[in-house]
Amino acid sequence: MNRRTHSGLWLLAAIALLPACASRQSANDLPETRSRVLITYNVRVDVTSDGEHAWPHRADRVAALLRFHQADIAGLQEAKKNQIDDLVDRLPEYDWYGVGRDDGVEGGEFVPVFYRRDRFTPVDRGAFWLSSAPDSAGSVGWDAALPRVTTWVLMEDNRGQRFYLYNTHFDHRGDTARVESAKLLRRIIESRESAAPAILMGDFNARPDEEPYGVITASGGGSIVLRDLAATVTDPYGPDLTFGSFEVGNEEDGRIDYIFATPGVSVIRAGVLTDQLRGHYPSDHLPVLAEIKLMK
């Protein structure tokens, strides 16, 4: 065999190995460098009085929105158990966790966390109520009209990185309840402070110029800093509002739905989604999306 033939055979062998090497590199590197898409979405409770906007007419569209925008994790609000079941049927690639706010089991609305089972494993999880007795299922806090619950999950991704995820829904009537709920959340998040970053999402029923938002984002309010991810990007996508109506054009000014995170989370893009069909949104809230990476 001459030198030229020998060299040619080595070259062919090297080329043959390239796809396998590239495949192994992609499989190893992708989970580490891959960003994660988070969505918080008040899907509007299932009530027959909504008529053409009642849940049976919207379930497919809510599920399609989450899938189209490739949500890795979705924190939902106002979902009753039948609504969760409908989404589970339509989104088989997701697992979920949550409890009913009325009894800590299945009674009343949930604030469930949906997550891609192929990308995340819950290490620990639980729920607490937004009241002076947070461990008491169904407790109503301060001047709130209804019991309000927070779902939390300590997640581990498929690279072994961990983070806390909190999903909540503040009361719509109680001014004091919203402020005290914000303080309670900060205390609980601070009490679990560790190397794991924290993400807080939900419907806070408070605009950026109101006290609950200020309590959550206060830089001098404790040992953690929670940033409004949509406010940290230079050019957030979508309108500066998240609530108001099923009808396009009838929304109320201002944001009340947010995704907050500690500095261990970097944001790539964030904004408010306006997916609609023939002038109708899938819910009376607009979903908020943030694409993030966990910093090592």
- Coil vs helix vs strand at 208: coil
Mark whether 5 and 51 lie in a shared domain.
Answer: no
The percent of residues above 90 in pLDDT, for the chain, comes to 82
Which residues are 169's β-sheet partners? 203
Mark whether 124 and 224 lie in a shared domain.
Answer: yes
Mark whether 109 and 66 lie in a shared domain.
Answer: yes
pLDDT digits (tens, 9 = 90+) for 26-67: 334 444 458 999 999 999 999 999 999 999 999 999 999 999
Residue (of 162, 240, 167) closest to 202 by Cα position: 167
Mark whether 64 and 23 lie in a shared domain.
Answer: no
What is the reported pLDDT for 223? 79
Residue 280 CB burial class (10 angstroms; 0-12, 13-18, ≥19): middle
Count of domains observed in the chain: 2
Position 221 confidence tier, pLDDT thresholds 50, 70, 90:
low
Q: What length does the chain have? A: 296
Mark whether 4 and 44 lie in a shared domain.
Answer: no
Mark whether 82 and 17 lie in a shared domain.
Answer: no
Q: Which domain holds residue 16?
A: 1-33
184-188 long-range Cβ contacts below 8 angstroms, 24+ apart: 184/130, 184/134, 185/130, 185/150, 185/216, 186/215, 186/216, 186/221, 186/222, 186/224, 186/226, 187/222, 188/128, 188/134, 188/152
What is the reported pLDDT for 194? 78
Mark whether 119 and 214 lie in a shared domain.
Answer: yes
Mark whether 93 and 24 lie in a shared domain.
Answer: no
pLDDT digits (tens, 9 = 90+) for 130-170: 999 999 999 999 999 999 999 999 999 999 999 999 999 99
Q: What is the mean pLDDT of the chain?
A: 90
Mark whether 13 and 143 lie in a shared domain.
Answer: no
pTM (2 decimals)? 0.88
Mark whether 260 and 184 lie in a shared domain.
Answer: yes
Position 219 confidence tier, pLDDT thresholds 50, 70, 90:
confident
pLDDT digits (tens, 9 = 90+) for 89-122: 999 999 999 999 999 999 999 999 999 999 999 9
Q: Give the ranges where the chain is alpha helix by DSSP (H).
A: 3-33, 59-68, 81-90, 175-191, 211-217, 229-232
CA distance 61 to 94: 16
CATH number, domain of 159, equals 3.60.10.10
Mark whether 91 and 6 lie in a shared domain.
Answer: no
- Coil vs helix vs strand at 232: helix
pLDDT digits (tens, 9 = 90+) for 228-273: 999 999 999 999 999 989 999 989 889 999 999 999 999 999 999 9
* Res 85 pLDDT > 90: yes
CA distance 51 to 79: 17
Mark whether 9 and 45 lie in a shared domain.
Answer: no
